Amino acid sequence: MNEPQGNPRPPSVPSIATSAPSDPIERSAPATHDSPSPADPQRHGSPAPPVSPTGLLIIDKQPGFTSMDVCAIIRARLRRAGAPKGVKVGHGGTLDPLATGVLVVLIGKATRLCDQVMATRKTYATTIDLSRLSTTDDEAGVCTPIDPTLRVSREDIERVLPQFIGTIDQRPPAYSAINVGGRRSYELAREGTPIELAPRKVEIHVIRVETFDWPKLSIVVECGKGVYIRSLARDLGAALGVGGMLTSLRRTASGVFSIGRAVTLDQLPDRLTQAELLPIPATP
């Protein structure tokens, strides 16, 4: 878009310029008194409003970031590339700061798919320590070892797993983002307020033992919306009569989006444009 060259010189006043204008367009343009039309913002030099990008990013979230941290970083990179200040960025299912793996980030009109993406089946690879308990059901909390004489076998584990498959009642961790009386549960728990969240109906489709070497149990879990893998670790340990706390969690799939399609934030450019986004799928 051409920038305005200033007000045209009135033809009755002789020019006192000692040299011709350097812009060839300005040299050849006839003088005119016509005013630009107010309906044409480009003739006034007003830039067209930026177009909001739309699409998806499949992020391999690294530990230490919250899901909203990732969204904020992506929003900043989009804005640096010229996206509107209010560009919408959301995600299709929270991952804890200690967790890694697939985080579906939705941008622009794709944010309308948030509920659909959240409702899809998720797959997790996780490791559970059966020799310890934790106030947060993972390594972020205060950990307490159990009686060192307690042991279970793989056969014991395989025997109790079926009770956690299907539609079950699951009590969320006290350290979760669930709203309790207008405040987050984890805020109350950090203050020492006793929290006992009500169980919720969730669906777990598959639990498969990958490896077991006391006290470390590695499993793969396929589940629906709202399942807390930390709670599963805690409850599995309780059913076995031992400890149970999460030591690692990696989401390997969210609906049709697998870890093989994911990229880390470090692999994305500092200025994100429409060209880097995936199109909105017909079925998330």
Q: Does the annotation mark 69 as catalytic? A: no
Which residue among 34, 60, 96, 266 is the active-site one?
96
List the one residue out of 231, 224, 247 whose CA is nearest residue 123: 224
Pairing of strands 143-145, 200-213: unpaired
Q: Provide the token pair at 283.
A: 């079925």
- Report phi then psi at 132, rounded to 5: -140, 155
DSSP single-letter state for residue 137: S
Q: Provide the token pair at 182.
A: 């207008």
Angle at 131 between CA 167 and CA 229, to 5 degrees: 30
Distance of CA 162 to the CA centre of its chain: 31
What's at 218, amino acid-wise? S
Instruction: Classify 212 as helix, strand or coil.
Output: strand
Active-site positions? 96
